[in-house]
Amino acid sequence: MPQTWPEKVRWTLADGRVIAGQGLIHWVRNPTVVISVLLYPIVVVLLFGYVLGSAMVVAGGGGYREYLMPGIFAQTMVFGVATTMATVANDVAKGVSDRFRAMPISQAGVVVGRSFADMVNSVIELTILVGCGLVVGWSWHEGPGRALAAVGLLLLLRFALIWVGIYVGLLITPEAAGASWMLLMPLTFLANTFVSPSQLPAWLGAIAAWNPLSATVGATRELFGNPGTGGDSWPAQHPVLLAVAWPLAIIVVFLPLAVRRYRRPER
């Protein structure tokens, strides 16, 4: 008898929970990967906050480390897409994905489980980064409610990019996934992550202003009450709106693409 829609959803979520547990166990059993993922943002905080921060000027005034931390938070969420791509590409190369397809489980549940596991990892990473920020003098100044809203926007960006990572990971080799950092690095620097777009050449500043990462960074700075908010461009004046709109648009495009690609890998 065909399953009803609620039954399909329950089946997908139940299988997704099991797949997520498998992914988290694999993550815990590879401490080298865990350390390398968590160490990079900590090094960047120390490098930019102390070594290069003394030469940085925040547009409109304010401490550079207060300006920096929301950018580091968002950059880490973006870099997580490389981890997703590498994990999915490795599963494909090792035949793990084929074994899942041969099992009587929800195929959508497999990719949902991957997203669950990556979101748990992201919460842990973000928690550690917030602790690092507090140590170096960063804080939020607009109350816990707005601070939690900022964290929600960061995790929304990560959730959206998970589907990009799953889709691309199903298309490329593990070697190509490992080289994705070369593309992500300029993407995260060509934003308001470390400097204001107003301090860049006009054409480059326009690109940086419309970068989806800039929307999340600008929105979190505003919600945290950190310096560097505002500007003359439309994106700078509406960061919260764009910080919601960009991830939702990414989800609408890449979630169905990822599920379809997983179900029909030959296409």
Tens-place pLDDT, residues 148-177: 999 999 999 999 999 999 999 999 888 888
* Residue 14 is assigned to a structural domain of this protein: no
Tally of domains within the chain: 1
* Residue 147 is assigned to a structural domain of this protein: yes
pLDDT band for position 90 (50/70/90)? confident
**Separation CA 189–CA 185 (nearest Å):** 6
* Residue 4 is assigned to a structural domain of this protein: no
* Residue 82 is assigned to a structural domain of this protein: yes
**Separation CA 97–CA 87 (nearest Å):** 11
Q: Is the pTM of this model over 0.75?
A: yes
* Residue 154 is assigned to a structural domain of this protein: yes
* Residue 130 is assigned to a structural domain of this protein: yes
The fraction of the chain above a pLDDT of 70, given in percent, is 80
CA distance to 26, 79, 108, 162, per residue, from 263 (Å): 23, 26, 8, 17
Q: Work out the number of other CB atoms within 10 angstroms of the CB of residue 194.
A: 19
* Residue 187 is assigned to a structural domain of this protein: yes
State the burial class of residue 257 (Cβ atoms within 10 Å of its Cβ: 0-12, 13-18, 19+): middle
Residue 136 structural domain:
32-56+65-263
